[in-house]
Structure 1
Amino acid sequence: MPHIISTVNVNGVRAAAKKGLLEWLAATDADVVCLQETRADDTQLRATLAPALDAGWHLATAESAIKGRNGVAVLSRRQADAVRIGHGDDEFTAAGRYLEADFDELTVASLYLPSGEVGTERQDEKERFLASFGAHLAATAASAAGAGRDVVVCGDWNIAHTELDLKNHKGNVKNSGFLPHEREWMSTVFGEHGWVDVVRGLHPDLAGPYSWWSYRGKAFDNDSGWRIDYQAATAGLAERAKEAVVERAASYDLRWSDHAPVTVRYR
């Protein structure tokens, strides 16, 4: 079973590949890498990742029906036993937002949750996704417990759960991504639904570690970021997490996405 799992929103896989994604893939020790916001169809994605696929990576994808939007994928050192697209909500099945891949007794999922914008249809879409995806998470955790499976949902959740998860929390209480009811939804996921925020579990009192920084201004240089990229694991798997790091670029000019990979090593 995979022991090192990474997740990263690539903010357009073709642009990221030109800036350093392929070099990062060649150097990583990860067994599985979850990608979000590829913004490419399957043909484009395979062409872009050809050097990595030629080097032995296997690829499972969920492209978006809307050209140039969304898209998630799972890269793995060995072929997945099974792959499922979507979380059972017909509205989002072809949206390129969710993919599950099985490896023995482990399921690894790649998630790109809608970002939202208060007062717009984008926020309405996010609310609908939260409702159905929350139900999926509850059912998945219960099923996994009964079947003895481990599950980890990796990706861009587009919600900062607590004040520790973004630098400017006071200035964002009315913005999508830090709305009170969104944070309550995350508390439910990490509470009664039974999931564990793996990075926060290993770093309970640390501000961040942030995984997204705006390209505007000096956000990256000042580490004025958001922690919105999570690995949410079922309890048994979370207990085996021994190290979690955000692979923040050494400098602004070395970034190949506005997100950084979040990597967890499990026993």
Structure 2
Amino acid sequence: MRIISLSVDGIHQAAQRGLYTWLAEQDADIICLQDLRAQEYEVDTEPFHLDGYFAYFFDSGIEHYNGVAIYTRHQPKALIYGLGFSSGVDMEGRYLQADFEHISVGSLLAPSATSELESQEVKIKFFDDFQAHLNKITRKRRDYIFCGNWAMAHRRQDVQNWQDNDSNSGFLPHEQQWMDQLFNQLGYVDAFRRVNKDSDEYTWWPAGEAGKGDGWRTDYQVTSNNLKGRVEYGVVYKNQQFSSHMPVIMDYDIELS
């Protein structure tokens, strides 16, 4: 099974840059997109529905603000819109989940704490609630792959010139600690790091263009611990730029049904 995930900085702009032509050539089983910045009715046209895929969208209800999508060759048994936090803070980001027989795949856009509509307090609350959610679902007889823009980097090797960025949102001490807890205490797995240990594999450039400014690795595919042995291949696609983020392509030894 191949999963591609990408935060697009606006789906119309990404389409104009050739995203859908590229996706049609990748033979992915599932495609998770984030930060659509479009309402669902705006993407109910070509080229936003790929041949051979079921397409699902969860917009923000606010024009030109966040939104996520999942494209899948296999029709899900169920869809979950949002994370259902009682605080409602999950709606400051966006989350859409497709459930298959024994596995669920989620497209996640976390609050970034870098826009007027977001704050560091909102981001902290979101990830506190998300951690509780992840801890709860570890007891379910189901495996998960969470794909998306997590708006934070884990380790120094994930931030170019980390010394100049350790006071910036996305690499603050409590954010690094949260990622440590995710992987070390809750037992989830950074799928990309299972197969690629290189220190220059960045997925996001805050300056807006790859190679300009510092690169960060903020885009992850995070799996249940049971799937860590199923990760076969991972790459950050760098040959073409569709947004300030780069696509993450992961192959898993998994058959969907």
The question of a shared fold, defined as TM-score above 0.5 by the shorter chain, is answered with yes
Matched-pair contact (CA < 8 Å) for 1:159–1:182: yes
Aligned to 1:211: 203
> How far 1:200 moved relative to its partner?
1.2
Aligned to 2:211: 221
Matches within 5 A, 1:15-94: 15-47=13-45, 49-52=47-50, 55-90=51-86, 91-92=88-89, 94=91
SS at match of 1:173: coil
Matches within 5 A, 1:6-17: 6-17=4-15
Is structure 2 residue 179 aligned with structure 1 residue 186?
yes
SS at match of 1:14: helix
Percentage of pairs with the same residue:
37
1:18–1:195 Cα change, 3 Å: same
Match of 2:133 among 122, 132, 136: 136
> How far 1:95 moved relative to its partner?
4.4
How many residue pairs get aligned? The number is: 252
Cα distance in 1 for partners of 2:122, 2:64 equals 18
Structure 2: segments with no counterpart, 5+ residues: none
SS at match of 2:119: helix
Matched-pair contact (CA < 8 Å) for 1:115–1:126: yes
TM-score of the aligned structures, taking structure 1 as reference length? 0.88
Cα distance in 1 for partners of 2:147, 2:250 equals 10
Is structure 2 residue 249 aligned with structure 1 residue 263?
yes
1:182–1:96 Cα change, 3 Å: closer
Opposite residue 202 of structure 2, the aligned amino acid is Y
Matched-pair contact (CA < 8 Å) for 2:82–2:96: yes
Q: For residues 226-261 of structure 1, give each alpha carbon's deviation from its aligned partner in whole angstroms, at most 9, with x where no partner exists.
A: 100001001122211011001112xxxx42111111
Matches within 5 A, 1:81-120: 81-90=77-86, 91-92=88-89, 94-95=91-92, 97-117=94-114
1:107–1:132 Cα change, 3 Å: same
Q: Which moved more, 1:72-81 or 1:87-96?
A: 87-96
Opposite residue 105 of structure 1, the aligned amino acid is H
Matched-pair contact (CA < 8 Å) for 1:59–1:74: yes
Aligned to 1:239: 229
Structure 1: segments with no counterpart, 5+ residues: none
Cα distance in 2 for partners of 1:37, 1:196 equals 23
> How far 1:220 moved relative to its partner?
2.1
Matched-pair contact (CA < 8 Å) for 2:95–2:108: yes
* Greater per-residue helix proportion: 1
Matches within 5 A, 1:145-156: 147=141, 149-156=142-149
Opposite residue 81 of structure 1, the aligned amino acid is K
SS at match of 2:184: coil
Cα distance in 2 for partners of 1:125, 1:44 equals 28
1:96–1:113 Cα change, 3 Å: closer
Matched-pair contact (CA < 8 Å) for 2:111–2:126: yes
Q: For residues 173-201 of structure 1, give each alpha carbon's deviation from its aligned partner in whole angstroms, at most 9, with x where no partner exists.
A: 11100000011001111111110011112
